Amino acid sequence: MRIVVVCGAGASSTFVAARIRRAAVSRGLPLEVAASGESQLATALVDADVLLVGAHLAGRLTAVHERAAAASVAVVLLPEDAAVGADPNDMLDLALASAEARS
């Protein structure tokens, strides 16, 4: 499974993706977790299964969701504290549940 974390410029998504990747490794899950900025979304959606969207992009979620739906990618809006306080296991669980719901 390939999970993509997207934010405005790609900086906070890199941090969140690393945290989720470590959570997946600690569970023994063979996942690819990548980060992307919104401007690279089209490329990031290729071969993605789940798109985790930074909370600061909530105002553009409809447009992001439409682009992801066209690529058959599930979308999850992350909590406000994803970059600093949210448990990466919780974010990983959101991604896994979203992917499972799509299959």
The pair of three-digit structure tokens given for residue 46, joined into one six-digit string? 């290729």
Residues 2-102: name the CATH superfamily. Response regulator (3.40.50.2300)
Q: Which long-range contacts (CB under 8 A, 24 or more apart) does 56-61 make?
A: 56/7, 56/8, 57/6, 57/7, 57/8
Per the CB < 8 A criterion, the answer to whether 39 and 47 are in contact is: no
Using 50, 70 and 90 to split pLDDT, how confident is the model at 97? very high
The predicted-structure confidence for 34-55, as pLDDT tens digits, reads as follows: 999 889 999 999 999 999 999 8
Q: Is the pLDDT of residue 72 over 90?
A: yes
Cα 79 to Cα 53: distance, rounded to the nearest angstrom: 9
Rounded Cα–Cα distance for residues 20 and 33 (Å) = 7
pLDDT tens track for 3-28: 999 987 666 889 899 999 999 999 99
Does the pTM exceed 0.75?
Answer: yes
For the chain, give the mean pLDDT: 91
